[in-house]
A and B are shown apart, each in its own frame.
Chain A
Amino acid sequence: MLSQESLAKIDRELNKYPEDHRQSAVMSSLRIAQDELGWLSKETIAFVADYLRIPAIAALEVATFYNMYDLAPVGKYKITVCTNISCMLRESDRIVEHLEHSLGIHMGETTADGKVTLKEGECMGCCGGAPLFHINNKEMCEHLTPEKVDQILEGLK
């Protein structure tokens, strides 16, 4: 179900913890699986659990608790916009409006071509760069303006 490359990454995570605590690697293993497959289906979660030799329910509990896991398909690019206080004070509502308008979708939706999903996020611990969003849980884009957002959207292939 997962590529050799992903399994090798999971093995590297397992090395961080004692032999008898393989469950500690579940968070990173789910992240690695999501990176490869785009989202986490029940089957993917069960596969990860099996690989770690933990009950599937233990992996499912983790997948549903932490909010960066996607339990349903998302667009090729998931844009998570912070709207918390420091971003709000620096007019993140303008960024949200601009994104919604440019993409023709609302927060929580995906464009018809399956390219972009918009999501509201909580504080990302980067408030000095407000307003900001991150793409696919990886790339942090700070000090946003509508013009900068246009450039970023154009760069998404």
Chain B
Amino acid sequence: MANEVCFRTLHLPEPGSLATYRSIGGYETLRRIVTEKVAATEIINQVKNSGLRGRGGAGFPTGLKWSFMPRYFDGTKYLVCNTDEGEPGTFKDRDIIRYNPHQLIEGMCIAAYTLGARVGYNYIHGEIWEDYVSFEKALDDARAAGFLGENLFGTSFCFDLYAHHGYGAYICGEETALIESIEGKKGQPRFKPPFPASFGVFGKPTNVNNTESYASIPYIIEHGGQAFADLGVHNSGGTKLFSVSGHVERPGNFEVNMGTPFAELLGLAGGVWRGRQLKAVIPGGASTPVMPAAVVMAANMDYDSLSKAGSSLGAGSVIVMDESTCMVQTLKRLSYFFFEESCGQCTPCREGTGWLYRVVKRIVDGQGRMEDLDLLTDVSHNISGRTICALGDAAATPVLSFIKHFRPEFEYYIQHGRSMVTGK
């Protein structure tokens, strides 16, 4: 079965409207827990049992993260949703805010009730203006219907939620850069610890989750953690939105159970386009290792299967490449991206991403030397683990995995000054 959790409304007319969401029982779970005063520990236990792991890419267990928020705090606690997706290949959260925004809002309300947060922000990627506007409209509708604001359902529970619009910076997807950005600053990641749970927005305890993580919560609380866990496989509970892009017939988002074979997902996207052969797949967004066709065709879409196969689920952003793809030229574009988006705070990342890009570019320009492949590996290792945030590692990953799996293509390019695949 597909579309069971985050895309529950997708088959209905006007899937994003409040009326449609209410027609499937939307906001009733929130009403129940608030009016019946269900204990926070009970809700956190359900989230733990669900096996939900953070859908923003790192896969951290959501229930455990929630238990880090201080119970008692003299002041405002904050809730933040990360809809800043800008990792190449990732476009699922956009569809949640356009096609099922109220499920996200209800999920955030439930989290706010559980964690005692009084105010929330949804940080929305700068480039998707029309979707930001429609989400603001959804917030207005929820407010007017009494699901946001003061004394909800006649109780003492109050929660205000606002949208914050980004303006073009991939790094703001990193949670502490995102917090700086909400404070009206440059998006430069903070050193951790302290973690957002103790020092977040305006220095106050803050819980940050991804859009898809929050949007999964109403289902989990309505049906119980176990029901969600049962949709998936061991260690990977629930369904997952997979964004499939690149060389397929029908690019798009597909919500399927965790553990679905890659081959099946590829089928949903219409298979490789133009009748061509599959060459390689990046399964979780630009920062996850590339997989050769034979390896990915034998893998399933869940955390354990992909990590056993040498890659990672990341944000579920599946980039498909057919036989006509030149891996050297593709790596050049990816390396440029990380170089361009480094915030510049840490020397290994600022300088290292520049080195990686320039060396790959030199190969593409026909000026490469055989030693460059070792140099690229060396520079990558010197970035990894030596930076404030994970962007440094993210930049190194494609370089290491592209060279590992497609080394002959790189060697050919260096020897002949042109691509083994395209001849250009």
Contacts and interface: CB of A to CB of B under 8 A. Distances in A.
A145 interface: no
B88 A127 contact: yes
Nearest to B125: A125
Q: Which of B167, B181, B246, B320 has the most CB of A within 10 A?
A: B167
Interface size range of chain B in the complex: 35 or more
Contact of B164 (A16, A121, A124): A16
Contacts of B166: 27, 66
Contacts of A6: none
Interface string B247-262: 1000111000000000
Contact of B184 (A26, A122, A123): A26
A25 interface: yes
Contacts of A61: 185-186
B361 interface: no
Q: Which of B162, B246, B253 has the most CB of A within 10 A?
A: B246
Interface stretch (B46-54, B334-342, B363-371): B334-342
Given A16-B164, A31-B167, A123-B170, A68 B126 contact: yes
A16 B184 CA distance: 12
B85 interface: yes
Interface in B77-110: 85-91, 93-94
Interface of A: 16, 18, 21-28, 30-31, 54, 58, 61-62, 65-69, 83-86, 88-90, 121-130, 134, 137-140
Per CB-CB distance, the 8 closest pairs between chain A and chain B, nearest first, are A23-B184, A68-B168, A124-B127, A86-B245, A66-B167, A127-B245, A67-B168, A16-B162
Interface of B: 76, 85-91, 93-94, 121, 125-130, 162, 164-170, 181-187, 202, 243-247, 251-253, 282, 286, 317, 319-321, 325, 330, 333-334, 337, 340-341
15 contacts: A16-B121, A16-B164, A18-B202, A28-B165, A61-B185, A62-B186, A68-B167, A85-B330, A122-B341, A125-B125, A127-B90, A128-B252, A129-B251, A139-B130, A140-B128
